[in-house]
Copies of this chain bind each other. A is one copy, B any other.
């Protein structure tokens, strides 16, 4: 069920990445507790025991995948944000970057941010760390704009605003996965409409 190989023996590192890849999909689809190592093994074209040749436990496997995918996300989004330009442009670029990541890696987004609390304490720590990093980055990027709104970024009110923004964006990405008809550009515009202009915007004042 892997891709096409007729059950050949592979070098360790290659097998390892296949396992991680498979684990990403299965964990994202089922959640931690609901996935059996067996499923991952099958998806990786191998037996359960082989998983334990590469990872000491299910927990460590998940954490590995989590950190790997988070690194990809940070790299992807970070690489597309110049940090220059008008606040509006920066926000739009960030949204676009995030959506383009979720478009290319739907499983990664789900794995990183959908499941919140269903796993054991040790994993929870990792997950919250990732979440908090994300929040902090966005807060940093929006710092100036928040100040323009009269909010000290250190304030709880500012943090709340950031949190709302992030959750909203992520929820929108989640929605998009179920309604892929919409183009990414239009998705970004919809997000900007609310987050930048606000619902109070009068007709014919819409864009720009």
Contact = CB atoms under 8 A, between A and B. Distances in A.
A200 B88 contact: yes
Interface stretch (A62-70, A76-84, A145-153): A145-153
A157 B88 contact: no
A74 interface: no
B163 A172 contact: yes
A30 B118 contact: yes
Copies of this chain present in the complex amount to 2
A195 B199 contact: yes
23 contacts: A30-B117, A91-B199, A115-B115, A115-B118, A142-B199, A150-B206, A156-B182, A157-B186, A160-B172, A161-B190, A163-B171, A163-B174, A164-B171, A164-B175, A165-B199, A167-B170, A167-B174, A195-B198, A196-B198, A196-B199, A198-B198, A198-B199, A198-B200
A189 to B, nearest CB: 8
A35 to B, nearest CB: 10
A78 to B, nearest CB: 21
A62 to B, nearest CB: 13
A119 interface: yes
The main secondary structure of chain A at its interface with chain B is helix
Contacts of A204: 150
A175 B198 contact: no
Interface string A170-197: 1110111001011000110111011111
Contacts of A198: 194-201
